[in-house]
Amino acid sequence: MRARWNVYIFLCTLTLVEFWSTCQGIAVMSVDLGSEWMKIAIVSPGVPMEIALNKESKRKTPVSVAFRDGERTFGEDAANIGVRFPANAYTYLPLLIGKKVDSPAVQLYMKRFPYHKIIPDPERGTVVFQHNSDTQYSVEELVGMLLEVARITAQEAAGDKHVIKEAVITVPGHWGQAERRAILAAAQLAGIKVLQLINDHMAVALNYGIFRRKDFNETAQYIMFYDMGASSTTATVASYQLVKSKERGFLETNPQVSIIVALNYGIFRRKDFNETAQYIMFYDMGASSTTATVASYQLVKSKERGFLETNPQVSIIGIGYDRTLGGLEMQLRLRDYLATKFNEMGKTKTDIFGNPRALAKLFKEAGRLKNVLSANPDHYAQ
């Protein structure tokens, strides 16, 4: 399910990126930054929207930074180091960005990943990783490193004709100002100018509606989007309808959406909408959180441009979210289940829960099982 919503989010961010690229004649990248994975895309003048592939020729890159033997690695390489040396690899960083050390989210992170030593920043009170006796890394630094990797990936895809310096970045809708300022600070460390931070649930709804203009009418239609990621789950409700306006001096009918996640649903479904509101629920579960959004779609008449026109309109009725329900929680519970079963077998006198390397290997295996079981009723753990 998450893969489908990631595509939706990407279409929305690419639409925004294409707008800025066309208006300014520059190449721009979009970064879909999740708790577990990130995707990068580029738009440049005269070139279709394109998802940038990483060095493994994959569309998504693990949100992971590792330090080992004086070398710094990212993505798949960092994730592999994390299996053998879990304390050397930093993952699920968006869960900590902008948080104080006494935040419940930080306490939960420390419980989930006990091999990391987390201390407060003496000036700001935010999270800092104590890597060794001489080195500390703030979350903003580590996320900035990942955004720089994203920029390099986008630059390689764009070629030498355009320089990538600007970006649109997706963020969870439940993030507050502290988290948003922190991600902007991380981008600044990477030398990236952020054109827009867009809520991921807004992107989902936009993708849903962008090809549905003919489905809209003047009556609001309500859609709920449900998204479960690695660490959270989100549900968003949006409304879509046509609205008449005269903004350009004559009456015309255009689709309207109050948040982009809902617009994504309605913009391609205009023919399905009429003057009676339709209600849709969008459910989005990601790596770290879950969001549910309810939206309404309908056609609305207006004279904002001097003449009567009918346009689709979407309104967000409500948004609910769980900051900790997501794929990560499922993977951790599966890891603990496998560890418990292994201890019950009595093959070793050592409690596997006290071995960070063994837990890291089981965590990786739990992730593999989670992906397989999402499409199959049963599977064997190795």
According to the model, what pLDDT value does residue 248 have? 47
Instruction: Give which of 266, 273, 267, 263 is closest to 298, Cα–Cα.
Output: 273
Q: What is the DSSP string of 55-84?
A: TTS-SEEE-EEEEETTEEEEHHHHHHHHHH
Closest CA to 239 of 266, 265, 221: 221
Token digits of residue 207: 């993708």
Neighbours of 24 (CB within 10 A): 12
Q: The whole model's pTM is what? A: 0.69
- pLDDT, residue 21, reads 47
| Gyration radius of the chain's alpha carbons | 22
Q: DSSP of 195-224, one letter per residue?
A: EEEEEHHHHHHHHHHTTBGGG--SEEEEEE
Dihedral-angle region of residue 281 (phi above 0 means left; psi in -120 to 50 means alpha; beta otherwise): beta
Confidence (pLDDT) at 3: 46
Choose among 326, 337, 369: nearest CA to 1. Answer: 326
73-91 residue pLDDT tens: 999 999 999 999 999 999 9
- Integer CA distances (angstroms), 345 to 336, 339, 340, 349, 382, in order: 14, 10, 9, 10, 14
User: From residue 335, how far is each of 86, 339, 340 by CA, in Å?
Assistant: 15, 6, 9
Strands 309-322 and 252-257: parallel
pLDDT (0 to 100) of residue 305: 67
Q: Is 265 helix (H, G, I), strand (E, B) or coil?
A: helix
Q: Are 147 and 31 in contact (CB under 8 A)?
A: yes
Q: Which long-range contacts (CB under 8 A, 24 or more apart) does 53-60 make?
A: 53/153, 53/157, 54/153, 55/153, 60/6
Q: What DSSP element (H or E) covers 194?
A: strand 193-199
Give 131's DSSP letter: -
Distance CA 356, CA 85 (A): 8
The 10 Å Cβ neighbour count of residue 191 is 11
Cα–Cα distance, 156 to 164 (Å, whole number): 10
The confidence score (pLDDT) of residue 104 equals: 92
198 vs 194: CA distance, rounded Å = 11
pLDDT tens over the chain, length 382 residues = 444 445 444 445 555 555 444 445 578 899 999 999 999 988 877 666 788 999 999 999 999 999 998 899 999 999 999 999 999 999 999 999 999 999 999 999 999 999 999 999 988 889 999 999 899 999 999 999 999 999 999 999 888 878 899 999 989 888 888 999 999 999 999 999 999 888 877 777 666 766 566 677 777 777 777 777 666 677 777 777 666 655 444 454 554 444 444 555 665 566 777 788 888 888 888 888 888 888 888 888 877 667 787 777 777 788 888 888 888 889 999 999 999 999 998 888 889 888 889 999 999 999 999 888 888 888 888 7
C-alpha torsion sign, points 297, 298, 302, 308: positive
Write down the pLDDT at residue 122. Answer: 86
- pLDDT score of 247: 47
Domain limits, the chain:
207-322, 327-373
